[in-house]
A = this chain, B = another copy of it.
Amino acid sequence: MDISSYFPIWDKLTPQQQRMVEDNLIRRQVSKGTVVHDGSADCSGLMLVRSGQLRAYLLSDEGREITLYRLFDMDICLFSASCVMQSVQFDIMIEAEKDSELWVIPPYIFQRLKNESAVMANYANDLMATRFSEVMWLMEQIMWKSFDKRLASFLLEEAVLEESNQLKITHETIGNHLGNPREVVTRMLRYFQSEGMVNLSRGAVEITDEKKLRTLAGA
């Protein structure tokens, strides 16, 4: 896996532009829990996920959180370079959810590429549209989908990501993903347990009836 595979438009860059990216690439290893981008305070540049998992989230003044989207192998994190896009007037946080290996393209290199190359500028546009689409999907979920369905979907998604029906996750962390207070999560999980869909224990949620949970989520 090399740098060219991150960019479907790689072949349309000039040899000089390709070399500029390759020569300025920074390798970065981050351990689980590291905040790799802190709103407007940081400007690392474009982050390419070589392995691991990143989570982009909103953080309120009161410390509440909601997960916007996640980034996996081969994804590019655009908003860690938001300083080169002045019209981006919002702050998001990005943290490593698993130990991750990143390649970073410094902001001034990204900016230069974008200014020189319509192909790169349009690709940046594509990346933004992709993230925008994820946020709009989330907006629809929040607006029109009830909390029980959102929680069921979240647990099923986690089980896929963790490759296990035994999830090591606290009610507070679930609340931070979904943007709801812990008590609301606890109440709904207890209801799920009474319906035989999950089994709760300290710091863990076990999915015991995946089919029933899936029916609830999909309905």
> Which residues on A are within 8 Å of B, measured CB to CB?
58, 60-62, 64, 66, 85-90, 92, 114-118, 120-122, 124-133, 135-140, 142-144, 179
How far is the CB of A61 from the nearest CB of chain B, in Å?
Answer: 8
Cβ–Cβ contact A90 & B133, under 8 A: yes
Partner pick for A133 among B87, B133, B137, CB 8 A cutoff: B87
- Ordered by A's residue number, 6 sampled pairs between the chains whose C-beta atoms are within 8 Å are A60-B140, A62-B144, A64-B143, A66-B139, A89-B133, A90-B133
Q: How far does the alpha carbon of A126 sit from the alpha carbon of B120 in the complex, in Å?
A: 14
Cβ–Cβ contact B139 & A135, under 8 A: yes
How far is the CB of A39 from the nearest CB of chain B, in Å?
Answer: 12
Q: How far does the alpha carbon of A136 sit from the alpha carbon of B143 in the complex, in Å?
A: 14
Contacts of A137 on B, CB cut-off 8 Å? 89-90
Cβ–Cβ contact B143 & A88, under 8 A: no
Contacts of A58 on B, CB cut-off 8 Å? 136, 139-140, 143
Contacts of A88 on B, CB cut-off 8 Å? 129, 132-133
How far is the CB of A93 from the nearest CB of chain B, in Å?
Answer: 13
Q: How far does the alpha carbon of A212 sit from the alpha carbon of B130 in the complex, in Å?
A: 42
Contacts of A120 on B, CB cut-off 8 Å? 118
Cβ–Cβ contact A87 & B129, under 8 A: yes
Cβ–Cβ contact B125 & A85, under 8 A: yes
Contacts of A89 on B, CB cut-off 8 Å? 129-130, 133, 137
